Amino acid sequence: MGAKNAVRRIGVLTGGGDCPGLNAVIRAVVKTGLLQGGVEACGILDGYEGLVNNKMTGLDYDDVSGILTLGGTILGTSNRANPFRYIEPGGDRDDARDVSDVCLENFRKAGLDVLFCIGGDGTLSIAHQLAQNGIPVVGVPKTIDNDICGTDVTFGFDSALVVVTEAIDRLHTTAMAHHRVMVVETMGRYSGWLALVGGVAGGGDVIVIPEIPYRMESVCQVVRERSRLGKRFSIVVVSEGVQLPEGDYVVRERVKESHEQIRLGGIGVWFASQIQERTGIESRAVVLGHVQRGGSPTPCDRVLATRLGWAAFVEAARGGSDVMVGVRGQDIVPVPLEEVADRQRRVEADCDFVQAARAVGTSFGDE
């Protein structure tokens, strides 16, 4: 593949939130390079924080052996270290400064030929900027939210779906026993993929996502109708990015030193209180939270992560830069990062997932 001449030393980092499959990608990139290209590998610690502060470590074959099944990331990660608007620990947005030149200097000092950036839309947007500044970059799409443009699916999504589905399965039994409405709040930020597909897999009676406007009275009417028909429980799945009727988001916390200050969370509790107040049926909320991001990757994600890591190295060996390896149908193809940066892949209201769910009687609270 020409890797011995094109790529001699690689850098790998994981940025943004953690998710199952990160270690599988690291393993695939490094092992492909070592076994097929004879390259040296360098791990950059804690995402872009490591590139700014020159925190790097060598990665050899033994370092990446046995990590295929591990959740998290052996390199650590950070979602608070944008080199173009860098905030020192304890600082705030007003103290942000551009230290991208330091990243370029550290990249060159380490003797790296290419930087593999494994992350979500924020990480890949930064990667695109670094490529414009002279660092050869290949991105790998990661997120449980499945909201990255340019790819049909991201690794980590399937693993999170298993958690959501199992949670709904378990909540079905307690909801039936106590004749309650159980409201399940999923992650997903401003995209509804996790709630939608997890809700379909778990047999949710109502699924509420950011992309489809809802009416609370419609949600409650589903609950009342099920009760009238003798079905004395209901499952309502709500994405954390769903807005209140007045258009506000429910914010769990704000992190001043982060460039994405808002941390969503709590809309499920609001839904449960509204349903109970309007229907008189006892309603409880379960916020799945970070459990969706933890644990071992599913077989599907292990395979996808391995394919993406291999494809990323092959793309770098061909001289590719400022690209992401994305899934299109059954193939993995290079996608220009300019088509990925600062964009978000959201659910289309008439997509097959939504149509299939409606066909089997699932409500989206919009009728």
Dist. CA 142–CA 152, nearest whole Å = 12
Alpha carbons 103 and 130: distance in angstroms, whole number: 8
Spatial separation of the C-alpha atoms in residues 22 and 2, rounded to whole Å: 26
Going from N- to C-terminal start, the domains of the chain cover 3-155+297-339, 159-293
Q: Which of 18, 46, 121, 145 is catalytic?
A: 145
Q: What is the pLDDT of residues 22-35, one digit of tens each?
A: 999 999 999 999 99
The model's pLDDT over 172-206, given as tens digits with 9 standing for 90+, comes to 999 999 999 999 999 999 999 999 999 999 999 99
Whether 152 is catalytic = no
Place of tokens 């999170």: 160
* Predicted confidence (pLDDT) per residue in 74-120, tens digit: 999 988 889 999 988 777 777 889 999 999 999 999 999 999 999 99
Strand partners, 285: 183
The pLDDT of residue 4 is above 50? no
| CA-based radius of gyration for the chain | 22
SS3 265: coil
159-293 CATH pick, 3.30.450.20, 1.10.8.350, 1.10.10.10, 3.40.50.460: 3.40.50.460
Taking residues 59-77, report their average pLDDT. 97
Residue 79 pLDDT? 82
172: left (phi over 0), alpha (psi -120 to 50) or beta: alpha
Among the CATH numbers 3.40.50.80, 3.40.50.450, 2.60.120.260, 3.40.50.10540, which is that of 3-155+297-339? Answer: 3.40.50.450
pLDDT for 272-317, tens place per residue? Answer: 999 999 999 999 999 999 999 999 999 999 999 999 999 999 999 9
Q: State what percent of residues in the chain have pLDDT above 70.
A: 96
Q: Is the pLDDT of residue 2 over 50?
A: no
What gap in Å lies between CA 160 and CA 2, rounded to an integer? 37
d(CA 280, CA 120): 42
- CA of residue 164 relative to chain centroid, distance: 14
Q: Decide: 130 and 346 in contact? Cβ < 8 Å.
A: no
The pLDDT value given to residue 257: 57
Residues 6+ apart with CB under 8 A from 310: 28, 29, 32
